[in-house]
Structure formats: structure tokens, C-alpha cells
Amino acid sequence: MSAEHHSSLLDAVKGQPKQVWITAFAAVIAFMGIGLVDPILLSIAKGLDATPSQVTLLFSSYLGVQVVAMLLTGAASARFGAKRTVLVGLTLIVAATALCAAAGSIEQLVGLRAVWGLGNAFFIATALSVIVGAATGGQGGAILLYEAALGVGLSVGPLLGALLGSISWRGPFAGTAILMAGALVLCAVFLKSDKHEKRTPVKLLDPLRALKHPGLLRTSVASALYTAAFFAVLAWSPFVLGWSAIAVGLVFCGWGLCVAVAGVALAPRLAARLGERHAAAAAVFGYAVLMLVLAVPSKPVLVVGIIVSGLVSGLLNTLFTGTAMSISDAPRPVASAGYNFCRWLGGAVAATLVGHVAEWFGSPQAPFVASAVLCVVAGALLSLRERQADSHSVPKEAVLVGEEF
């Protein structure tokens, strides 16, 4: 990590223009959507008479559409400009979240979450470039602001979901729609138009072509396996806990804070000591052990395991992305897009199957045991020897792209 990246948050926020603050605010709301539904999964199941397997489709549809859309966002932004891409994304999110609050069936809710995922893909993939392009004080300050937005969103999302969800499961969706509508208006008014800027065309299949590199492909597959385990924690543990929205929200607030802190502050240090790929292998083996801890039939153990897993997830989100961007000669944005396609495909599949795995094996702990096996395979893939030396510094972009959910 460079000294620039370690600049204080106070230095980063001084004198920033309005469009940086507005985009950062919208980013906080977008990141809140990740953990928003966690505390209300049980309430949704009751309110819409849905099974756990049906409710976890809320993650599957969101991620599945986002996976495919991530391949489109680079081309869309290059063709239409950042502002228009951001506004399209925000409009889709506002419409989807408002309609989620009025949904009458689990099928409607799952479909609307897919629209939400599409909007999120367009917004999140473009917001960073807007902040970096408009921020004063260099890229380091802009990166710090974006990381701050990430941390606030991940930790506040479960709390907002819990507080509004204690009134009705519809509340968190309505609250998000109102906040995001405000962000949409502010972005439409204050973001500068970029209609006439020259932009380099991005080909749709470039990210998939980058996966022909063996090292990048192994890293991407390993990340997909880890992300499947990650979503076993995110999508399944609320059902195992069976607690109120407030209690689950507090647990995942702690989890979100750990994810943000570890990804920004701890991952670069571990990479400097062990190398990116070796550090990722060590961390994913550690995550496998944590999955076995979560399989212990004890709710206090499960709570501690969830929160601690946030630290390891923060490490892996950054380390995996750093490895993906340094292991091949593909341009970093292209390599990152191909890697993220595989990564979130793993999450979408896991969120779809996690409830069924519990049913097939007749045990609520089965998804955690299966996740441990996936992490061992991921660690083995990362441990395979590569031709080039293991990088000992995480690219700045990895701290951000690795955290983009």
C-alpha cells in the first residue's frame, strides 16, 4: 500500500465537490442493499408463506442478473457515458425497491430483486470512476471515500433492515426506495454531463477471453468456490439462528464492519508478508475451518463464527481480486471483469442451492460442511505453482473491486 492510500479520511474529505459527495451517498445506499434482506428473511417467509429455499432465491436472482450485467456495464459506460449509466442504474433500483415493498408473492419479489441486481450492476460499476474522476486531492483520497461508503453501507444495511423490518418486512424496501430516489434526483441535477467526452470502446467478450489464461482461470474458479461458501453464511445462517430481525441485524452489522476493516487495512499487510496468492490460499483454508465451526449446533458459536468470518471475507475479497489482476497480462479492468463474472456466478448458484442442500442431507448444518469442502478445493487450486513470482503488493484497484458486491 502506498503512503497516498494511507492518507487520513479527514484529508480525503476536505474540499471535495458536490458530485463526489452525492455519488458517495448513493454508493452507501447501494451497498446497503447487500445485507438489507438478511434480518427480514424469516419475516418474508412468514408474510408470503414461502419456504427457505424460495426465500434464498432473493439472493440468487439479484446476483444472477448482476453477474451477466457486469459484462455489459463496461461497454454501456464506454458508449453512453458515466452519468447516463449511473442514472439508468439508480432508476432501476428505485423502481425495483418501491415495487418490492408492494409485492404480493415470493415470485414477484424474486423477479423484482433481479431488476434491482441489474440496476446495482450499472450503478456500482460506474460510481467509482465518477468519484475518482471528480475528486480533488488525487486518487488516494477518492479511493478512501469510496471505501468509507462501502464500510458504512455494509454495516448500516442490516441495521436498517432490522429496524424497519421489525415493523413490517415491506419497510426496508420502502425505506431504500425513498433514499435512492433522493440520490437519483441529486445525481441528475449535480453530476456533470459527459456526452461529448471521447471514450475507448470496450468489447463485450473481452472479459471472457481473458479467462483463457490458466492462472486467471484457476483464480476465478477458486474465488467462485469461496463465494459460494460466503453466501452460505449470508443467505442461510439467518434461518439457522431463527432470531428476530433486530438480533440478526446486529450480528450482520458486526460482520459488515469486519469485512470492511479487513479488506482495507489487513489484506495489504498479509499480501506483503506472504504474497497475494499464498495469502489468499492461507485465508481460504482458514475460511474452511470457520465453516466447520459454524456447523457446530450452538447459536453462540454460530454468532461468533459469523462475525469472525467477516474478517476472513474482507481479506479474501481483496486478496482474490489482487491475485486476479496481477496473475495475467490482460488489462486490469478486463481481467477483473472476467474474474468477477466467475466469482458472482458461484454466489448465485450457492444462494439457489443452499436451502436444498439442507433438505437433501436433513440437517441445517449441511450447507456449512459443504462450504468447507468447497474452500479446501479453492485453497488447493491457489496452491498450484505458477510460472511468475507471487506479487507482494495489492493493486489499489483490488481493494475496491474486491469489495464491490
Q: What is the pLDDT, as a whole number, of residue 95? A: 96
User: Band of the pLDDT at 157, cuts 50, 70, 90?
Assistant: confident
What integer is the mean pLDDT of 401-405?
45
The residue-averaged pLDDT of 264-269 equals 82
Residue 312 has pLDDT above 60, yes or no: yes
Cα separation, 54 vs 52, whole angstroms: 5
For residue 269, what pLDDT is reported? Answer: 86
pLDDT greater than 60 at residue 12: no
* Same-domain status, 77 and 164: yes
Q: Which residues of 217-256 are buried (b: 16+ CB within 10 A; e: fewer)?
A: bbbbbbbbbbbbbbbbbbbbbbbbbebebbebbbbbbbbb
- Mean pLDDT over the full length of the chain: 82
Question: Do residues 243 and 325 share a domain?
Answer: yes
How many C-beta neighbours within 10 Å does residue 15 have?
11
Kindly state the cell numbers that stand for 103: 409485492
Judge if 338 and 388 occupy the same domain: yes
Residues 405 and 257 placed together within one structural domain of the fold: yes
Which residue has better confidence, 285 or 136?
Answer: 285
Q: Determine the average pLDDT of the residues in 305-332.
A: 84
> What is the mean predicted confidence (pLDDT) over 253-278?
85
Task: Measure the CA dihedral 22/24/27/32, to 10°.
Answer: -110
- Same domain for 209 and 164: no
> Do the beta carbons of residue 175 and residue 50 sit within 8 Å?
no
Assigned C-alpha cell, 318: 481483496
> How far apart are alpha carbons 240 and 175 in whole angstroms?
27
What confidence tier does 286 reach under pLDDT thresholds 50, 70, 90?
very high
pLDDT for the residue 385 = 74
Q: CB–CB of 158/23 below 8 Å?
A: no
Q: What is the mean pLDDT of residues 213-220?
A: 90
pLDDT of residue 402: 45
Q: Does residue 31 surpass a pLDDT of 90?
A: no
Last residue of a domain, one of 200, 218, 251: 200
Same domain, 143 and 85: yes
Least confident residue range of 112-126, 135-149, 228-242, 264-278 = 135-149
Residue 370 Cα to chain centre, angstroms: 22
From 239, 398, 238, 400, select the one nearest 325 (Cα to Cα). 398
Rounded to an integer, the average pLDDT of 126-155 is 65
* Alpha carbons 39 and 197: distance in angstroms, whole number: 43
Residues 247 and 289 in one domain: yes
Asked if pLDDT for residue 296 goes beyond 50, the answer is: yes
Overall number of domains in the chain: 2
Q: Is the pTM of this model over 0.75?
A: yes
Residue span of the structural domain in which 55 resides: 1-200
Report yes or no: 403 and 150 within 8 Å, Cβ to Cβ: yes
56 pLDDT above the threshold of 60: yes
Q: At residue 391, does pLDDT exceed 60?
A: no
pLDDT at 404: 46
* Segment 232-257 mean pLDDT: 90
Whether residue 189 sits in one domain with residue 332? no
Predicted pLDDT of residue 401: 45
Question: Are residues 130 and 82 in contact, defined by beta-carbon separation less than 8 angstroms?
Answer: yes
Tens of pLDDT along 219-232? 999 999 999 999 89
**Residue 202: pLDDT over 70:** no
Is residue 213 domain-shared with residue 165, that is, in the same domain? no
Tell me: do 133 and 178 sit in the same domain. yes
What per-residue confidence (pLDDT) applies to 142? 58
φ and ψ of 83, to 5 deg: -60, -50
CB 116 within 8 A of CB 96: yes
How much is the average pLDDT of 155-182?
A: 88
- Amino acid 211 reads L
Tell me the pLDDT band of 320, cut-offs 50, 70 and 90: confident
Q: Is the pLDDT confidence value at 49 over 70?
A: yes
CATH number of the domain to which 78 belongs: 1.20.1250.20
- Give the pLDDT confidence of 76-128 residue by residue, as tens digits: 766 777 788 889 999 999 999 999 999 999 999 999 999 999 998 888 767 76
Give the mean pLDDT of 27-34: 77
Q: Where does a domain end: 200, 233, 264? A: 200
The model's confidence at residue 186, banded by pLDDT at 50, 70 and 90, is confident
288 versus 31: the higher-pLDDT residue is 288
Q: What is the mean pLDDT of residues 138-147?
A: 57
Q: Which of 173, 200, 227 is the last residue of a domain?
A: 200
Q: pLDDT value at position 263?
A: 78
Residues 252 and 285 in one domain: yes
Same-domain pairing of 77 and 9: yes
What is residue 220's predicted lDDT score, i.e. its pLDDT? 92
Q: Please report the pLDDT score of residue 76 as a whole number.
A: 72
